[in-house]
Amino acid sequence: AQKVTQAQTEISVVEKEDVTLDCVYETRDTTYYLFWYKQPPSGELVFLIRRNSFDEQNEISGRYSWNFQKSTSSFNFTITASQVVDSAVYFCALSEASGGYNKLIFGAGTRLAVHP
Amino acid sequence: GAGVSQSPSNKVTEKGKDVELRCDPISGHTALYWYRQSLGQGLEFLIYFQGNSAPDKSGLPSDRFSAERTGGSVSTLTIQRTQQEDSAVYLCASSSGQSGNTIYFGEGSWLTVV
């Protein structure tokens, strides 16, 4: 069965601190996809990144970086020099290729509060 | 359109009434999904459309819930005889169809049943 665990329910940091959001997944498929979405207070889910199971390269996009480690089934997300605008709920999600379509299984989300 | 569009953005309805929620996916996207986000339940998959057919309806919580898609585009999620536990944000998403492709979400329809 597929499952995504985001153990951190809430994180509170002060602006300019670095923060890492953890994501651990379970799947029996060898081909799968991992996603991160941001949900700001306005409510929409904003796509951040997609990673397939064959690509373990870490990715950096500005202040955001992602660390994918198949050995530990983790896909962690780091925000460097956090800003107030980063305050949101962040969701990690998994999609298995065997289904043939994107049935996303979401983690419970991590609420990040960045204080000035 | 440029993004996934949902209407209404907010809906307050009385218990027992029927509601319809509409989704207009990104132009050209063949796959369309409905999810529900409620307190304590997180983000739950409801139904998946490929074109006008729904190969996976496994997430619909009861027979009061139904959905259709016409013309391979607009989809309507209908909730009959609404109950208070139906109060949630209903999110529509679309993608170009294949597994692994990015799914883009709309802003959601906030449903409150009083």
- A vs B: CB pairs below 8 A: 67
Chain B residues whose C-beta is within 8 A of a chain A C-beta are 31, 33, 35, 42-43, 45, 48, 50, 55-56, 89, 91, 93, 95, 97-108, 110
Residue in A42, A43, A101 nearest the CB of B50: A101
Ranges of residues in chain B whose predicted pLDDT is under 50: none
Q: Which residues of A touch B111 (CB under 8 A)?
A: none
Q: What is the structure's pLDDT at A22? A: 98
Residue A99 pLDDT exceeds 60: yes
Rounded to 5 degrees, what are φ and ψ at A98?
Answer: -65, -25
Torsion of CA B91, A61, A79, A21, to 10 degrees: 50
Taking residues A85-103, report their average pLDDT. 89
Residue in B33, B99, B105 nearest the CB of A33: B99
Q: What is the structure's pLDDT at A96? A: 86
Q: What is the structure's pLDDT at B14? A: 97
The pair of structure tokens assigned to A16 is 């300019």
Q: Let me know the angle formed at the C-alpha of A106 by B77 and B28, rounded to the nearest 5 degrees.
A: 50
Residue A70's pLDDT band (cuts 50, 70, 90): very high
Most distant CA pair in chain B, distance = 39
